[in-house]
Amino acid sequence: MYFVVIIDSLPGSGMCAGMFKFRMPLKLVISPMDNSTMQSLVFFWIAVAIAVHFTMFRVTAPFGRHTSDKWGPMINNKLGWVLMESPSLLIMAGFLLYGTRSNASYVWILFGLWIFHYFNRSLIYPLRIRATPKKMPLIIALFAVFFNLINAGLNGYYLSELASPADYGAEWLYSTSFIAGLTLFLAGMYINWRSDDILINLRKPGETGYKIPRGFLFEYVASPNLFGEIVEWTGFALMAWNLPALSFMAWTLANLVPRAKNHYDWYKKQFPDFPRGRRIVFPFIY
């Protein structure tokens, strides 16, 4: 969104003691983003995702099992998750409540699914994970905040201000893209949540250290929780069928595929008996 400030000065005002005199209040004129500008921003954002994708194969994000205190000040792990994910929840909720076109069609379904996911990720999930002495670098949380500001901003603005209500009318609910996308979204969410549940309960109370996860899709890939999230946002992009949603899918792949590779390499290093048949993130493929 572009912001243009117009300053209306006093008639005949000039420089006095090196300063300008201005009449108050100042007028703030907001120039809305058009579809062409949105398209340019999204293509640039996807290009950044591609660059980040290849970088992350070389640089492991230092949180979770890969945490490191070499990245500056550290914060509580639970607090870090809330700080990272809550901007996406709040921004989309704001666009849903105050957007120009948020209630002009069934587009509220997309907002609802997004908010449901991030309510879990920013509030429920941090309460469920076990408290550990390991902390998260503050810079990682801030990077995630920046990403979520842009990602939720692009998607929320498009759906609430630019998307045509006709694109998300009653016919949309019966379209192949909506039905297939919703199926993928819900399936991905289930995979993600169940895998998270296995990881959260991997250790019994009082136990420390890591174990090889067993059961469910862990028999096929090292990181089914990440696979589930990829499936989830692929489904969202299919449902929404717009460029900002496609960019989110691109970022999900760009971020989570290298992350899954980092996890896979870590497992193999830590556990000599790690099952050889397990793939990295996509069952039977990679």
Instruction: Kindly give the confidence (pLDDT) of every residue in the chain, 286 residues in length, as a single tens digit, with 9 standing for 90 and above.
Output: 433 333 333 334 333 333 334 344 444 334 578 899 999 999 999 999 999 999 999 988 888 888 888 889 999 989 999 999 999 999 999 999 999 999 999 999 999 999 999 999 999 999 998 777 778 899 999 999 999 999 999 999 999 999 999 999 999 999 999 999 999 999 999 999 999 999 998 877 776 778 899 999 999 999 999 999 999 999 999 999 999 999 999 999 999 999 999 999 999 999 999 999 999 999 999 9
Query: How confident is the model at residue 168, as a pLDDT?
Result: 97
Q: In angstroms, what CA-CA distances link 6 with 9, 12, 14, 23, 30?
A: 10, 17, 17, 12, 10
Which tokens belong to 14? 């000039």
Provide the whole-model pTM: 0.86
Query: How confident is the model at residue 244, as a pLDDT?
Result: 98
* Separation between Cα atoms, residue 116 and residue 213, nearest integer Å: 27
Query: How confident is the model at residue 162, as a pLDDT?
Result: 96
Query: How confident is the model at residue 34, as a pLDDT?
Result: 87
Beta bridge partners of 16: 19
* Separation between Cα atoms, residue 262 and residue 58, nearest integer Å: 9
Helix (H, G, I), strand (E, B) or coil at 220: coil
* Separation between Cα atoms, residue 240 and residue 38, nearest integer Å: 16
* Separation between Cα atoms, residue 278 and residue 50, nearest integer Å: 26
* Separation between Cα atoms, residue 208 and residue 132, nearest integer Å: 9
Query: How confident is the model at residue 31, as a pLDDT?
Result: 54
* Separation between Cα atoms, residue 236 and residue 194, nearest integer Å: 19
Q: In angstroms, what CA-CA distances link 46 with 23, 154, 170, 180?
A: 43, 12, 30, 24
